């Protein structure tokens, strides 16, 4: 089909959230008859391959960002040389593919090297205004960020609801001087009703995600909490592997990851949820309508802001990692 519009979407491998929120976008393009190429890395690429059919895939170098400390500046600073190398390499891979295959538009969800001077390039992001406790430092980071986006991208797409019902709050304020479009609450659960169940086998369902080693630290903490609480619970580790739960105690089971219908069914069976306050997780939570406890990743100021913002709206409760226990959960209404 030589006249079919060819779209390329490049997706950040920072946990699984960027990949999950792009699934409905790709499926919408496919329904419109467009040819789609998906570019990503690591476990995000694995999730995309498991969730999508009849698309082309490109493997990009992994950002593989780690958060060993609670300082965002330190974490990103020590990794910046490697991240710069990743951005240069992904730009070369994408440029070669565009030249060979012919692409009509590029959408980059968080991958800074995925743009082209020859093809209309779109920046997909919910964090348009970096939050940091030192206002002067936040101003400097945003100045550099906004300059880069304006230079390389023609438009910004925001996966959020415009106005007072914004799920991202101040994070999603538009970049001055750059066209933007709100896409709504992008989620693979949009339009899907959770099943009604007579009895809920899980009092708690923990859905883990995000960079190491903090994901593993939270996993250890929650397993200890669930053992102490001795209530029915399931922990989804958020790493590639088996989708069959394994019992640790009579009341606690652990599974590597769940996808699609299996994940939706499991969420229906849970009374309340524990998860990171990553934005893509919150997009899903908007559709789940479940009592929610948020635990921001230490060192990620974006997640800290979102946890507090959702709590201020009465949509969730939140706690610091290392202080989980004795909670009742909140609810988005």
**Which comes out higher in pLDDT, residue 192 or 288?**
288
CATH number for the domain whose boundaries are 6-182? 3.40.50.2000
> Which H or E run contains 46?
helix 42-51
Q: Tens digits of per-residue pLDDT, 34-57? A: 999 999 999 899 999 999 999 999
Instruction: Collapse the DSSP code of 21 into the 3-class scheme (helix H, G, I; strand E, B; otherwise coil) and give the result.
Output: helix
Q: What is the pLDDT of residue 190?
A: 82
**Which residues make beta-bridge pairs with 156?**
123, 180
Q: What DSSP string describes 117-134?
A: SSSEEEEE-S--S---SS
Q: Tens digits of per-residue pLDDT, 256-272? A: 988 878 888 899 889 99
Q: What is the pTM of this model?
A: 0.83
Contact 310, 318 (CB under 8 A): yes
CATH 3.40.50.2000 in the chain: give the residue spans: 6-182, 202-331
Q: How many other CB atoms are there within 10 angstroms of residue 88's CB atom?
A: 11
Task: Report the top-level CATH class of 202-331.
Answer: alpha beta
């Amino acid at each position: 089909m030589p006249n079919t519009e060819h779209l390329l979407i490049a997706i950040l491998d920072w946990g699984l959230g960027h990949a999950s929120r792009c699934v409905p976008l790709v499926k919408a393009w496919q329904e419109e008859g467009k040819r789609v190429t998906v570019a990503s890395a690591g476990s995000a690429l694995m999730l995309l391959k498991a969730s999508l059919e009849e698309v082309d895939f490109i493997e990009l170098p992994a950002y593989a960002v780690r958060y060993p400390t609670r300082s965002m500046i330190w974490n990103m600073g020590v990794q910046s040389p490697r991240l710069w190398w990743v951005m240069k390499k992904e730009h070369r891979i994408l440029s070669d593919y565009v030249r060979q295959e012919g692409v009509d538009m590029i959408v980059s969800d968080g991958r800074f090297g995925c743009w082209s001077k020859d093809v209309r390039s779109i920046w997909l992001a919910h964090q348009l205004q970096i939050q940091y406790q030192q206002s002067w430092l936040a101003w400097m980071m945003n100045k550099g960020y906004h300059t880069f986006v304006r230079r390389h991208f023609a438009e910004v797409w925001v996966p959020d609801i415009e106005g007072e019902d914004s799920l991202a709050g101040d994070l999603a304020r538009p970049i001055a001087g750059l066209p933007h479009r709100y896409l709504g609450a992008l989620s693979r659960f949009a339009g899907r009703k959770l099943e009604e169940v007579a009895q809920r086998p899980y009092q708690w369902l923990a859905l883990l995600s995000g960079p190491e080693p903090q994901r593993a630290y939270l996993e250890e903490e929650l397993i200890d909490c669930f053992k102490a609480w001795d209530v029915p619970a399931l922990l989804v580790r958020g790493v590639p592997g088996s989708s069959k739960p394994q019992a640790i105690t009579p009341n606690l089971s652990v599974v590597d990851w769940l996808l699609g219908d299996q994940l939706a069914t499991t969420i229906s069976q849970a009374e309340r949820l524990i998860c990171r306050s990553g934005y893509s997780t919150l997009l899903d939570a908007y559709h789940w309508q479940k009592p929610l406890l948020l635990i921001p990743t230490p060192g990620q100021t974006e997640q800290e802001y979102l946890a507090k913002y959702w709590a201020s709206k009465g949509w969730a409760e939140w706690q610091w990692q290392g202080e989980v226990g004795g909670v009742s959960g909140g609810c988005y209404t």
